[in-house]
Amino acid sequence: SEGANFEEVTGEALYHAICQGCHMTNAEGAQGAGMYPALAKNPKLAAGAYVIYMVSNGMGGMPPLKQYLSDEQIAEVVNYTRSHFGNHFTDVVDADDVKTIAQR
């Protein structure tokens, strides 16, 4: 798949390399120059398709990351975020889900 400008391959490594800059290390979000929503204990993460869409295409201050990450990397970081930080969503997404939802 396209993307893959980041060497990290695990969801945890990708989160720390990319996401924590805005959503913070503990995924509790931040406010300042912008509003960065908390991902911790976030019911919106229940829908894997929603998270794939947001990571891939962005919205508002969230940049689209599909040009920088492969489908596999997006799936990894989505699964990591949905199963950590007080989130317990166990249904996993895969690269095929990302390809379909991100409209590559």
Position 70 in a domain: yes
Residue 48 belongs to a domain = yes
**Is 6 part of any domain?**
no
- What angle is formed at CA 102 by the lines to CA 38 and CA 58, rounded to 5 degrees? 40
Domain that holds residue 35: 11-102
| Mean pLDDT to the nearest integer, 19-47 | 94
- Enter the tokens of residue 86: 């007080």
In a domain, 88, yes or no: yes
pLDDT per residue over 46-104, tens digit each?
Answer: 999 999 999 999 998 899 999 999 999 999 999 999 999 999 999 999 999 999 998 86
Provide the CATH number for the domain around residue 50.
Answer: 1.10.760.10
How many independent structural domains does the chain possess? 1
pLDDT of residue 19: 97
Whole-prediction pTM: 0.92
Read off the DSSP letter of residue 42. -
Does the pLDDT of residue 2 top 60, yes or no? no
